[in-house]
Amino acid sequence: MKKAKYYNSKLEEVKELNLNKDIFEITPNNYVVKDAITLSLASLRQGTHSTKTRSEVNGGGRKPYRQKGTGHARQGSIRAVQFVGGGRYGTPVPRDYSKKQNRKERLLALKSALSQKAIDNEIVVIEKLELKDNKTSTMSATLKKLEVANKKVLLVLANDNREDAILSSRNLQNVILIFADEINVLDIISSDIMVIEEEALKYIEEVLK
């Protein structure tokens, strides 16, 4: 059974916590994990990029010169793609980059990502994250006691009523803070280690069981 280091609210390592084998001990499916990452990255794209085609550029309603006798190639409009100020060909147009993944695949991807973290011993559970104030230095000291200060940390908290944690972590480049109901494959894979509150862990296990 996979285990994770368990710290009490005083940041003292007291035991190793057994992780749910149905979530943290499956064989990771890299295919669905890749699809989940692609989906997450695609959802961040606005798709509003656009350039004007020949039909959208103003002007060029008549032939620039007669068809024959000029010594030049025949031209129908000065807004053709070969002219400066003309339209563009094969360039970006607004589009929707969103992708779909069914529910079973999403759950499998999350379990696979979490299992890989457990395999790599990159999960730390804390009874409750208690901060005396909302200063960045306080969060840095907390991470140092957990021995993760020099790693890219995914901090998963139980509820969103945690202004102290949000304010104290927002200036730390190596910390991603999310709440239990926001957990996703991209953040898990992007981090070096996960620090999870015990209540958040129970929520995740309940949802993914």
According to DSSP, residue 9 is labeled T
Q: What is the pLDDT of residue 87?
A: 92
Question: Quick one: average pLDDT of 7-31?
Answer: 92
Handedness of CA 141, 122, 187, 106 (dihedral sign): negative
Torsion of CA 66, 76, 79, 64, to 10 degrees: 10
Q: What is the pLDDT of residue 161?
A: 78
Strand order through the sheet with 3-7:
13-18, 3-7, 123-126, 193-197, 153-157, 175-179
Would you state the structure tokens that stand for residue 180, as one six-digit string?
A: 């239990």
Torsion of CA 200, 202, 207, 209, to 10 degrees: 150
Quick one: pLDDT band at residue 48, thresholds 50, 70, 90?
Answer: very high
According to DSSP, residue 179 is labeled E
Torsion of CA 116, 171, 173, 176, to 10 degrees: 20
Distances (CA, A) of 33 to 16, 106, 156, 188, 196: 27, 8, 20, 11, 21
Dist CA 112 CA 101 (whole Å):
15
Dist CA 71 CA 110 (whole Å):
67
Domain boundaries defined on the chain? 3-45+99-208, 49-96
Compute φ and ψ for 194, nearest 5 degrees: -105, 130
Q: What is the pLDDT of residue 177?
A: 96
Dist CA 177 CA 129 (whole Å):
12
Dist CA 104 CA 97 (whole Å):
22
Question: Quick one: average pLDDT of 106-112?
Answer: 95
The class (CATH top level) of 3-45+99-208 is: alpha beta
CA angle 120, 125, 130 (to 5 degrees): 145
Q: What is the pLDDT of residue 121?
A: 93
Alpha helices in 25-152 (DSSP H): 30-43, 103-119, 136-145
Question: pLDDT (tens digit, 9 = 90+) per residue, 135-175?
Answer: 999 999 999 999 999 999 999 999 877 899 999 999 999 99
What's the full length of the chain, in residues? Answer: 209
Q: What is the pTM of this model?
A: 0.80
